[in-house]
Structure 1
């Protein structure tokens, strides 16, 4: 198998056997993998050499994964995939609100974990595989709506020439909404094209990313006008112009 990336991953989980199993699988997938078993050990590694992506377990003794994530954001812009227990819906939402990019329930199959990692790294790079423009591919051109400007090539977002600090998932949600300004996009479509996976039951990831986007846009917009509208029962719509 040919691998396009030698991305560096950091696994943070207090289960050494699980880390060893996942590390072996992900190494065979072409990744450089390091693992630590506590949040404090993760902080030490991150200070020395930040990886390309963090796989973070929520439930750990001492400092939890949520507490670690809270310390990392916003000073460290590394994508984070959370590992959560199947019954920890509140923790998943909290993690997304704190800036995690996505989550996966434990126990997870290594192949599914690898697929999620690939999806996050792909959208961080601004691409989405072989999808075409007609199929809803990630935009390459600069997108602008009044004072809001997104440059997908440079992965930069600004409002009135001031930087907007967005996670990779937030950036891609906003870019896809702006690319289809005026259209109502379902959560199924947003999940498929932005998160590169199918929407599942009780999945709140897109809702949380949109909520965070609204908060960040409202914080910089002097008029407080809402750019992203909720169309009940259908999805979300980006307002092309507020004039």
Structure 2
């Protein structure tokens, strides 16, 4: 399964702060996350991480616990508000088992064991960003309401698990099985995001995206295309000026959701 994210500029990439003293791991994970469309800033210590926060506002901090000097716990103490809650979402990297019990008094968004599978990290990063949008960086116009998504998919075996997952993430999902239905609904309802299979009856996904991007009322709607074959997307160019990324995943509904979690943006 392949995906293309439409209309993503450098400014729209989600910013992550990755803090780890292991240079090899820092390079490997940051390169992987950048390839997946994130803007990654790195720091090799808790002290350097605090310096980064003076000029950078990350949507998520990925934090190693075992570092010389300040360490992960020391870093966390510096970013707590008056209620003891971190000022940013935090995903903890740890080689220790049962690390969660050390944070009974601190609200941590997730834990992942080291060494970690990059795909597992990607899924966890996407999950946290989705679930914490209501607390971090949400605009007045979107706060307090469910976001609307149009899902262009004719196969119920793919659509149903995607609808279930995004519903858990506070999206109201409308499923459209044909390209013209996606186009009509987008014009009438102006959703927050459109996710669609490139192969749709009537109009394919890139044709729908081409039409939406030239209409004043729909040109700013984020669009994610996916397909069973990367070649399908590469042979289906969208209009000049519309950017995107292409990545390959396995053809399972769970993997489709995982990649879309990373690709969808406000």
- When normalised by structure 2's length, the TM-score is 0.47
SS at match of 1:97: coil
Counterpart CA distance in 1 for 2:170 and 2:128 is 16
The counterpart of 1:99, out of the listed 92, 107, 113, is: 107
Instruction: Determine the structure 2 residue equivalent to 1:82.
Output: 92
The counterpart of 1:11, out of the listed 9, 14, 18, is: 18
Unmatched runs of 5 consecutive residues or more in structure 2: 135-145, 150-161, 173-256, 259-266
Instruction: Determine the structure 1 residue equivalent to 2:168.
Output: 137
SS at match of 2:54: helix
Work out whether 1:40 is the aligned partner of 2:50: no
Counterpart CA distance in 2 for 1:29 and 1:79 is 19
What's the offset of the Cα at 1:10? 0.6
The counterpart of 2:4, out of the listed 2, 5, 8, is: 2
What's the offset of the Cα at 1:132? 4.7
Counterpart CA distance in 1 for 2:110 and 2:104 is 7
Question: Which structure has more RCO (C-alpha within 8 Å, separation ≥ 6)?
Answer: 2
Work out whether 1:109 is the aligned partner of 2:113: no
Instruction: Determine the structure 2 residue equivalent to 1:121.
Output: 129
> Taking structure 1 as reference, are residues 96 and 18 closer, same or farther at Cα in structure 2, changes over 3 Å only?
farther
Question: Superposition pairs for residues 201-212 of structure 1, below 5 Å?
Answer: none
Rg larger for: 2
User: In the alignment, is the contact (CA less than 8 A) between 1:96 and 1:102 conserved in 2?
Assistant: no
User: In the alignment, is the contact (CA less than 8 A) between 1:70 and 1:98 conserved in 2?
Assistant: no
What's the offset of the Cα at 1:32? 0.3
Q: How many residues are treated as equivalent by the alignment?
A: 140
Instruction: Determine the structure 1 residue equivalent to 2:71.
Output: 64
> Taking structure 1 as reference, are residues 63 and 6 closer, same or farther at Cα in structure 2, changes over 3 Å only?
same
Work out whether 1:53 is the aligned partner of 2:84: no
SS at match of 2:112: strand
User: In the alignment, is the contact (CA less than 8 A) between 2:130 and 2:169 conserved in 1?
Assistant: no
SS at match of 1:34: strand
Counterpart CA distance in 2 for 1:107 and 1:100 is 19
Counterpart CA distance in 1 for 2:122 and 2:49 is 20
> Taking structure 1 as reference, are residues 140 and 34 closer, same or farther at Cα in structure 2, changes over 3 Å only?
closer
> Taking structure 1 as reference, are residues 37 and 96 closer, same or farther at Cα in structure 2, changes over 3 Å only?
farther
> Taking structure 1 as reference, are residues 72 and 117 closer, same or farther at Cα in structure 2, changes over 3 Å only?
same
SS at match of 2:63: strand
> Taking structure 1 as reference, are residues 6 and 68 closer, same or farther at Cα in structure 2, changes over 3 Å only?
same
